[in-house]
Every structure is written in structure tokens, then in C-alpha cells.
Amino acid sequence: MTVLPQLLIAHFAGDFFLQPGAWVEAKEQKKLAAWQLYVHCLLHGALAWLLVYELSFWKWALVIAIVHFLIDASKLVFQTNATKRAWFFVDQLLHLASLLAIWVWYSAPSIFISPNGWLAIALILFLCNPCSFAIKTFISKWAPFTGDKTDDSLQSAGKYIGICERLFVFAFVVTGYLGGIAFLITAKSVFRFGDLKEAKDRKLTEYILIGTLASFGVAMLAGTVYLRLRS
């Protein structure tokens, strides 16, 4: 039985759910001198060991912690403000590649949750914070706003709207209710129409469109992956 979903869950949880923003800032400022870096990497190993739920996996969990440290340390040492966006994607790809390698070399039974359940949990977590960070980073260079732009929008509203829409799309694809995706797109267009009409800003319209298409596309891809890989 594959351990890949558990490893992905551990990675998404450790990097995007259990890593406070203050830790990220401390690592970027102090680099290898930041204690948060070492705790963060150990946490990744511990989460992987806990989710795989096999005592013999401790060696692999230690490998995960060490490899995670090497990748994160390289990122902190070599990234600059100009390359920060690129390093985000390089960093995540290297982490995922290392987990794929461990998946190839190791196989352990899952307990309590079926393989399909682990796969669904991994994809759902991916569609939450990891996707939000990735899409935000991807479209940031087209952001039509300046740093001191203020409006009446709720704090982090866009992030949670994106998460909800991706989870809806994922559920629609998995259940075969593709008409729900069309309904969701229509509903979002209706709610956004007033903002875009009032703004009269072509750049804002294109920015929102890119973000929406990326969000829907990733969610549809995740749903397709689940349907292909489920046992």
C-alpha cells in the first residue's frame, strides 16, 4: 500500500498549516541561525512518521527531516528578493521530488483510513493553503494594486473564497456533477460583475480572471487525479 498520500499530507501540513508567518520571517532574516528552521524540519519528519504509523519508518522520517533542511537551507542562502518567487516553486518541487523518491523506495500499510481516503485528504489539503500560496505567488507579478492600496474587503477574504471554490470544484469532479462547475462560475461572475463594472479597470479584470482560471484549473486537475488513482 502506498505511503505517498500520507507523506504529502505531512508536507502540506508542515509547510502551510503548522508554520507560523513569524517563523518564515525569522528564517529569512536569520537564515541558518534561526532555530525555527531546525524545529520546522524536525516537525516534517515527525509528521511523516506519525501519519505513516509504522515504527520502522523512523529512519525514513529522519531522512525526510534532513533532506527538508538541506532544501530549505539552500533556499535561504541563495534566494534574493528578485528570485524569491522562483525559489518558492523550486523549493516545493524539490520537496515533492524527495517524497516521490521515498515513496518508490518504501511501502508500508496504512491504518484506520483506506488508500482512497488518504489520497482524498492529501488532495483536499493541497487545494487549501498550498494552492492559495502557489496561485498568489504565480499571479503576484500582475497585481494591479500598490502596497498601500486599501479597500473595504474583509481580511484574507480572497484566500478563503479561493479555497471554498476549489473544494467545490473538486467535489463536483469527483462526484461527476460537472454542471455544478458551470453554476459556480456563473455565480462568481454575477457577484464580481458589480466590482469590475465599478472599477472600470481592465488590469483588475484580467488579474481576477487569471486567478480564477488558475484556481478552477488546479481543482479540476486534482479531481481528475483522484479519479485516476483511486483503487
pTM of the model: 0.71
The pLDDT of residue 66 is above 80? yes
215 pLDDT tier (thresholds 50, 70, 90): very high
pLDDT per position as a tens digit, 127-163: 999 999 999 999 988 877 655 454 556 667 888 999 9
Task: Please report the pLDDT score of residue 170 as a whole number.
Answer: 96
**What is the C-alpha to C-alpha distance for residues 1 and 108, in angstroms, rounded to an integer?**
6
198 or 51, higher pLDDT: 51
At residue 78, the pLDDT reads 96
pLDDT at residue 111, rounded to an integer: 47
- In whole angstroms, give the CA distance from residue 169 to residue 223: 8
pLDDT digits (tens, 9 = 90+) for 86-121: 999 999 999 999 999 998 888 645 445 677 888 999
Give, in order, the Cα–Cα distances in Å from 131 to each of 19, 29, 103, 177, 226.
15, 25, 22, 22, 16
Q: What is the mean pLDDT of the chain?
A: 87
* CA–CA separation, 103 and 9 (whole Å): 13
* pLDDT at position 198: 55
Residues 6+ apart with CB under 8 A from 125: 8, 9, 12, 13, 17
Query: Could you give the CA distance from residue 131 to residue 75 in angstroms, rounded to a whole number?
Result: 20
Residue 214 pLDDT greater than 50, yes or no: yes
How does 91-130 read in b/e, with b if 16+ C-beta sit within 10 Å? bbebbeebbeebbeebeeebeeeebeebbbbbbbbbbbbb
| Average pLDDT value for residue range 205-231 | 90
pLDDT for 196 = 57
Letter string b/e over residues 8-27, b meaning 16 or more CB atoms within 10 A of that residue's CB: bbbbbbbbbeebeeebeebb
Q: What is the CA radius of gyration of the chain?
A: 19
SS3 173: helix
Q: For residue 76, give the C-alpha cell.
A: 535561504
- How far apart, in whole angstroms, are the C-alpha atoms of residue 170 and residue 181? 9
What's the rounded Cα separation, in Å, for the pair 73 and 79?
A: 10
- Alpha-carbon distances, residue 12 vs 24, 40, 99, 132, 198 (angstroms): 15, 12, 12, 12, 38
Q: Residue 213: is it exposed, middle or buried by C-beta count within 10 angstroms (0-12/13-18/19+)?
A: exposed
User: What is the per-residue pLDDT for 118?
Assistant: 85
d(CA 80, CA 94): 18
Q: Residue 199 — pLDDT band, cuts 50, 70, 90? A: low
pLDDT at 230: 87
